């Protein structure tokens, strides 16, 4: 049986020999020059996003939207059963009242995300520190796995305990549809040693000075390669990636990028397998595809966040103008209430309605219970003329 050993081949490459799982090599294996233009675009977009107005109302709405989207996406990657709307509703429930295992997974993820944010806070939240990493510890890994696994009725997945496959007990990662299956290390000795080596490599000064985007994506890649726990490896790996990004100032995008992974699920899994096979064949740059995918996902995600924030700002400006119109008598109290009711219907998921469809809704019929239909249409005309509703194709839009 070979001896456990580690050897640094250069500043960014650590080769490890295990007892039973053969050799592992932690390295960059990237065309850094080829990645730099996209990294610069991501960092420019993130810096601009971080400088957007940090008004409490904007931040609160963004946090709620991104939290629901992130939890939904990472849970769906693992086969979760809830829609994004159902996820948002469950996350508003007190975790102490949650009983079902599937719902508990969602509240667990919420608590894990909150832990990452609390343990990544810096004096200046707007400062992007693209090449100034912080250490990741084994305790961080155990804490995150414990948070995603706590209270879940899974006898075979004890929180914060590494796998130790018994003779004949198999662990397979992936499937044929996404590029093939992979058998990760099985013995506890090998897993413990590889996790220690992973942290040594991840926290080495030469790796810490790399772009946080590269360090985070490779931390995620190698964690999934080791696959240290019985279950929850995907969720924990994405949270580790999030932790590294949050530490470097990638606000909101650090977890929002999970939607990109979920929307491009085949590519996400297939690139993991493709890069794993290229590394086994020692074909550089083996990790380029997976890292580029993550960086492109961050760019798409940050642009989406810009759009979301701009929509919230526009809506706040609209609300202020609407309140001013009421106070200056440009709109009557009834007309103001009609707009408010329609806004409530749209925010609850209703599609745009024609004036006649809107008039038939119970809330609007109640508002005009002592008025004629003609009065209703005159109010609609006044609201449209004032610019607080737009008539497009016969339907009303805010």
**Residue 276 known to bind ligand:** no
Structure confidence at residue 380 (pLDDT) = 97
Kindly report the number of other CB atoms within 10 A of residue 107's CB atom: 20
Kindly report the number of other CB atoms within 10 A of residue 117's CB atom: 17
**Residue 79 known to bind ligand:** no
Q: What are the average pLDDT values for consecutive 10-residue runs of the chain, which has 398 residues? A: 86 95 95 98 96 78 94 96 94 89 95 95 76 93 96 82 91 87 94 98 97 98 97 97 96 97 96 95 95 98 95 90 97 97 88 96 95 97 96 94
Domain boundaries, the chain: 5-310, 331-397
Q: Whose structure tokens read 């667990």?
A: 108
**Residue 175 known to bind ligand:** no
Structure confidence at residue 2 (pLDDT) = 66
Q: State the helix-helix crossing angle for 56-77 and 101-118, rounded to 10 degrees.
A: 130
Q: Is 287 exposed, middle or buried (0-12, 13-18, 19+ CB in 10 A)?
A: buried
CATH number, span 5-310: 1.10.3290.10
| Contact assessment for residue 163 and residue 188, using Cβ atoms and an 8 Å cutoff | yes
Structure confidence at residue 348 (pLDDT) = 79
H/E stretch holding 23 reads strand 23-26
Q: Can the peptide bond before residue 90 be classed as cis, meaning omega within 30 degrees of 0?
A: no
The answer, as to whether pTM is greater than 0.85, is: yes
Task: Give the tokens for residue 124.
Answer: 């200046």
| Contact assessment for residue 213 and residue 295, using Cβ atoms and an 8 Å cutoff | yes
List helix spans (H) across the chain: 32-50, 56-77, 84-91, 101-118, 138-149, 188-202, 205-208, 212-226, 233-247, 253-263, 265-280, 288-327, 333-347, 355-359, 362-367, 373-385
**Residue 151 known to bind ligand:** no
**Residue 238 known to bind ligand:** yes
The residues carrying an active-site annotation are 227
Structure confidence at residue 154 (pLDDT) = 66
- Cα–Cα distance for residue pair 302/262, rounded to 1 Å: 16
Structure confidence at residue 59 (pLDDT) = 84
**Residue 235 known to bind ligand:** yes
Q: Do domains 5-310 and 331-397 have the same CATH topology?
A: no
**Residue 168 known to bind ligand:** no
Structure confidence at residue 167 (pLDDT) = 87
Backbone angles phi, psi at 175, to 5 degrees: -155, 170
CATH number, span 331-397: 1.10.10
């Amino acid at each position: 049986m070979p001896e456990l050993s580690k050897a640094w081949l250069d500043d960014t490459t650590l080769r490890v020999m295990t007892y039973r799982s053969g050799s592992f090599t932690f390295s960059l294996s990237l065309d850094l020059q080829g990645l730099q233009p996209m990294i610069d675009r991501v960092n420019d977009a993130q810096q601009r996003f971080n400088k957007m107005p940090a008004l409490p109302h904007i931040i609160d709405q963004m946090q709620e939207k991104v939290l629901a989207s992130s939890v939904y996406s990472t849970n769906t990657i693992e086969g979760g059963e809830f829609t994004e709307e159902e996820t948002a509703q469950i996350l508003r429930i007190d975790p102490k009242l949650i009983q079902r295992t599937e719902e508990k997974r969602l509240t667990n993820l919420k608590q894990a995300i909150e832990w990452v944010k609390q343990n990544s806070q810096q004096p200046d939240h707007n400062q992007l520190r693209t090449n100034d990493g912080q250490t990741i510890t084994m305790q961080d890994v155990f804490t995150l796995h414990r948070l995603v696994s706590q209270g879940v009725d899974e006898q075979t997945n004890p929180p914060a305990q590494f796998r130790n496959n018994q003779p004949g007990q198999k662990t397979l990662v992936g499937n044929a549809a996404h590029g093939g299956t992979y058998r990760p290390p099985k013995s506890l000795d090998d897993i413990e040693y590889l996790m220690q080596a992973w942290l040594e490599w991840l926290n080495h000064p030469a790796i810490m000075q790399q772009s946080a985007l590269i360090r985070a994506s490779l931390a995620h890649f190698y964690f999934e390669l080791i696959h240290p726990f019985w279950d929850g490896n995907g969720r924990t790996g994405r949270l580790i990636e999030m932790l590294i990004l949050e530490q470097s100032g990638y606000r909101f995008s650090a977890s929002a990028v999970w939607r990109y992974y979920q929307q491009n699920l085949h590519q996400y899994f297939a690139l993991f397998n493709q890069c794993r096979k290229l590394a086994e064949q020692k074909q550089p740059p083996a990790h380029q595809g997976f890292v580029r995918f993550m960086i492109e996902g961050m760019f798409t995600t940050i642009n989406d966040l810009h759009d979301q924030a701009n929509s919230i700002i526009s809506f706040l400006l609209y609300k202020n103008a609407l309140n001013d119109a009421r106070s200056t008598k440009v709109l009557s109290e009834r007309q103001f209430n009609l707009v408010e009711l329609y806004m409530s219907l749209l925010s609850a998921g209703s599609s745009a309605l024609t004036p006649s469809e809107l008039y038939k809704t119970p809330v609007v019929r109640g508002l005009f219970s002592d008025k004629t239909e003609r009065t209703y249409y005159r109010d609609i005309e006044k609201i449209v003329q004032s610019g607080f509703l737009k008539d497009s194709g016969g339907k009303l839009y805010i």
